[in-house]
Structure 1
């Protein structure tokens, strides 16, 4: 779950991370009032879950309250299209902050390093740009310190990152405190990503988190209820929200045109690989799990069928605890209700497969039957191509 910039800054401030003075505004008048309170010279920043806001016109300078009002009017109620969100994200709020005299821009972040099996703090003197670009073009400018899950993040590690990014002298002590604060915030709030970019050294020698991102591990929602309440569902993919409301926790919208209904995360990933191997593109990831209830299958197919990009559906089931006859019944009901109009490829194997196949045979539906995994992927790609 992602936080907005202003929410991330409020969270980090509780851990001693300094941020610019600012206020959230949801109307143009509120933006003008915020600018007036902040002295007039402000930055008006669209609050969306996407990077690249500056390049996309989502960050505007204003030298007066009237200019701040005009900037907010231009942003609020529109959709910001960025390289991370080509479909556009709705702008329902802006953050109005004091303008900062920037002397240097740095990068500081915390992420989960799957290769190391632990979180890692990352720092770079090359801030204000996409860290992926820095890592690719100037890897020597990326500095890392692992956060051991037993001993935690140590002071000497924070000092190492500070010195590596040129934060020495009078800046060293506040830099170490800021780095440690970010590490604590990340760990104590089940972070999956925490990022300050840029971390700014101001003209008068202060450190400020001018921009901030914070994402929370979805599996920790049950113990981070206070943060979950901050979630802005308007920023999420609409079909994913609909799936969640229907009790489907493992649906992820993708860019392809072959809808996938699969049981088991491993089989679901293998199914997507098989589709790509055959030259197709999956439209979603969906692990239906042990769904021994036709209504659960109907709900999942309703989501898949509602995706306008889907040209074919591939139901790939290997029943263990999941009963293929229940899956088949759900497929039949979804088609009977008109929820799936796209060509549908069905491959069943495992528990009660004879009953499952009989249900499909007796339904009279024009389903495309597959004899195996690879056969099903091939037929799904062919069906999607034929729908063009």
Structure 2
């Protein structure tokens, strides 16, 4: 789950990380009020889940409350890469000497939380990794002991913070960032940039936080921050039905039960020259209602030219899947080719139910993938 910048900075502040003063506004009048309360030059920033806000005109400076109101009225309602701006962050505009990058991220290779820092802040860290990889410093935290004080200081010295006071403050911020990551069950907590102000102190100017969706049951206060206005309808429907769904760019819709089987299905589709349109796992024990919802989500994608079902009936009953497919096709008729490989619990009944339907049967995963790829190419 993504947090907006204003939400991320509030989370950082809760853990003792210094951030700029400011607030979020949904109207131009609210933006003016916040600017008046701050009593100084402000920056108005569109709150949408997309990069390139500045280039799109979604980040602007205002010298007066009246100008803040005028700029906010321009940004609110603006379309940035297909997303409508409904909120703006009004924050203090700060002068500074240098920009730093700092983040905590889960490194799946080492199975540890890794702290990443760079003296080249203010730009995408991927760009720094490409052009100047030596500028990126990584230190893994101990899985039980966490980030140690000496490691935080080591990060500070490695990016050139030789002033004792600055190094100590950086170490405090790095430690607080690590604690934010762990206590929030995050997959990423990033400050970019962390700036050195004219007086030498450090301040977080921009931040990004991603929360592990699987851990949200432990964090109702974070779940309450979820903003679905920028989420595609398909993702909202999938989450409400407890379906794991990720949209991709291909033309073959996939409905599978089990994450491992779903990944294997996608691999086999690509092996035979196709491209999956989605990752979709209906999970174990799915009933006909969940299957119907899943198929409706797949068919709503205009890029889908064929749909492939790969169901192994263990906990999930093949006849229940069959009933869900039939129910979905009654509500959302389609001429798109549907290829089904169904095997396992109540397989005979499931295949009997589908015998008179429009589905194209397959007896193996390879056969189903081949038929789906051929159908998608024929329909292209």
Shorter-normalised TM-score: what interval? over 0.9
- Does the CA-based 8 Å contact 1:109-1:196 persist in structure 2? yes
Which residue number corresponds to residue 23 of structure 2? 23
- Does the CA-based 8 Å contact 2:243-2:283 persist in structure 1? no
| 1:206 and 2:206 aligned | no
Query: Structure 1 residues 302 and 291 mapped into 2: Cα distance closer, same or farther (>3 Å)?
Result: farther
| 1:122 and 2:119 aligned | no
Which residue number corresponds to residue 64 of structure 1? 64
Of 365, 379, 386, 2:371 maps to 379
How many correspondences in the alignment?
379
1:172 is displaced (CA, Å) by 1.3
Of 168, 192, 196, 1:197 maps to 192
* Per-residue CA distance 1:221-253 (angstroms, 9 max, x = gap): 1111111111111122221111222x2331222
- SS of the aligned residue for 1:167 comes to coil
* Per-residue CA distance 1:179-208 (angstroms, 9 max, x = gap): 111111111111111000011111221211
| 1:283 and 2:271 aligned | no
Which residue number corresponds to residue 221 of structure 1? 216
Q: 2:53 & 2:127 partners in 1: Cα distance?
A: 16
Of 104, 108, 120, 2:98 maps to 104
1:116 is displaced (CA, Å) by 0.5
Q: 1:192 & 1:35 partners in 2: Cα distance?
A: 33
Of 254, 260, 270, 2:248 maps to 254
1:320 is displaced (CA, Å) by 2.3
Q: 2:189 & 2:306 partners in 1: Cα distance?
A: 38
Q: 1:16 & 1:374 partners in 2: Cα distance?
A: 55
Root-mean-square deviation (Å): 1.6
After TM superposition, where is structure 1 displaced by more than 4 Å over at least 4 residues in a row? none
Q: 2:69 & 2:318 partners in 1: Cα distance?
A: 59
Q: TM-score, normalised by structure 2?
A: 0.95
- SS of the aligned residue for 1:144 comes to strand
Q: Which runs of 5+ in 1 are unaligned?
A: 82-87
Q: 2:198 & 2:340 partners in 1: Cα distance?
A: 64
1:309 is displaced (CA, Å) by 2.6
Which residue number corresponds to residue 229 of structure 2? 234
Q: TM-score, normalised by structure 1?
A: 0.93
| 1:329 and 2:332 aligned | no
* Per-residue CA distance 1:61-87 (angstroms, 9 max, x = gap): 222223222221222123312xxxxxx
- Does the CA-based 8 Å contact 1:302-1:339 persist in structure 2? no
Q: 1:18 & 1:249 partners in 2: Cα distance?
A: 39
Which residue number corresponds to residue 171 of structure 2? 176
- Does the CA-based 8 Å contact 1:199-1:207 persist in structure 2? yes
Q: Which runs of 5+ in 2 are unaligned?
A: none
